Amino acid sequence: MSRMQLEPAYVLHSRSFRETSLIIEAFTREHGRVAVVARGAKSARSRWKNVLQPFRPLLLSWNQKSDLGTLTAADQVASPPVLLGQSLYCGLYMNELLMRLLHRGDPHAEVFERYRSALSDLAAETSPQPLLRVFEKHVLDAIGYAMLLDREYGTGAEVKEQNWYDYKPDRGPVLCPGPGQGRFSGAVLLALHSENLQAEQLPALRTLMRCVIGYHLGDKPLASLSLFST
């Protein structure tokens, strides 16, 4: 049995387990996504009753001898970011994205730090769409689905701002004669590559990322997309 101590973490999701307990899906810095049983967490006298909430920066300790661990300690280490309205929906979207794309036990410290920073930016009312597009790009990079954005698939030719491309989610951009459904300008692809996004490019980038993420998720779409237009 492994004992994990004082691991920086955030709660992504929780669900009831038996009468008084919860199963917590947490995103940790060094161990990636983990699932732990918080025994008695639903009890009115539980020490974890108001702690195991999304977006709260935590230090978690747990014992692990199977895919499902047992929580032994949970301490909030700082005030949680205040997410309201659209910012809250964006946070819920990021949580679901991590739940669906990250495998348990696969650490991604860089994604963890980007998630922490994104929550702070959302609380500061930073424009959410550029933030989400870059976050999505880095999550895909981390799990091995990096997007080819600056070179044509097959030929290796440089993507040109003035050209139009049919973007294949499993391959990359393919040069095409002009604009049309499912096609994107080279300027849009290069903006995402450099992470320097302009306001007029955001609608196309949202369409692009929904296409790519939807391809990797398969037939079950993200439920949080129904909350608002991310």
Write the pLDDT tens digit of every residue in 121-131.
Answer: 999 988 999 99
Domain closes at, from 31, 58, 76 = 76
- Average pLDDT estimate for 11-27: 95
Has residue 60 been placed in a domain? yes
Report angle CA 64, 16, 8 to the nearest 5 degrees: 45
- Compute CA distances 187 → 82, 88, 154, 181, 191, whole Å: 35, 31, 20, 16, 6
Are residue 112 and residue 69 in the same domain, yes or no?
Answer: no
Are residue 94 and residue 36 in the same domain, yes or no?
Answer: no
Domain count, the chain: 2
pLDDT score for 50? 87
Are residue 206 and residue 103 in the same domain, yes or no?
Answer: yes
Are residue 164 and residue 205 in the same domain, yes or no?
Answer: yes
Are residue 153 and residue 176 in the same domain, yes or no?
Answer: yes
- Low-confidence winner among 91-95, 202-206, 218-222 (lowest mean pLDDT): 218-222
Residue 229 has pLDDT above 60, yes or no: no
Strand boundaries in the chain, DSSP class E? 2-17, 21-28, 32-38, 58-64, 68-76, 164-168, 172-176, 183-185
Domain closes at, from 27, 53, 76 = 76
Are residue 95 and residue 189 in the same domain, yes or no?
Answer: yes
Q: Which of 228, 191, 226, 227 is nearest to 208 (CA)?
A: 191
Are residue 116 and residue 167 in the same domain, yes or no?
Answer: yes
Are residue 21 and residue 53 in the same domain, yes or no?
Answer: yes
Domain closes at, from 24, 57, 76 = 76
Are residue 158 and residue 66 in the same domain, yes or no?
Answer: no
Q: What is the pTM of this model?
A: 0.93
Has residue 81 been placed in a domain? no
| Domain CATH for 51 | 2.40.50.140
pLDDT score for 230? 52
* For the chain, percent of residues with pLDDT exceeding 70: 98
- CB-based contacts of 30, cutoff 8 Å, min separation 6: 7, 8, 107, 109
Are residue 109 and residue 214 in the same domain, yes or no?
Answer: yes
pLDDT tens by residue, 204-217 = 999 999 999 999 99
Tell me which residue range forms the domain holding 162. 86-226
pLDDT score for 228? 58
SS3 content of the chain, % helix, strand, coil (to 5): 35, 30, 40
Has residue 38 been placed in a domain? yes
Has residue 170 been placed in a domain? yes
C-beta atoms surrounding 48 within 10 Å = 20
Are residue 133 and residue 106 in the same domain, yes or no?
Answer: yes
pLDDT tens by residue, 120-174 = 999 998 899 999 999 999 999 999 999 999 999 999 999 999 999 999 999 999 9
Are residue 202 and residue 107 in the same domain, yes or no?
Answer: yes
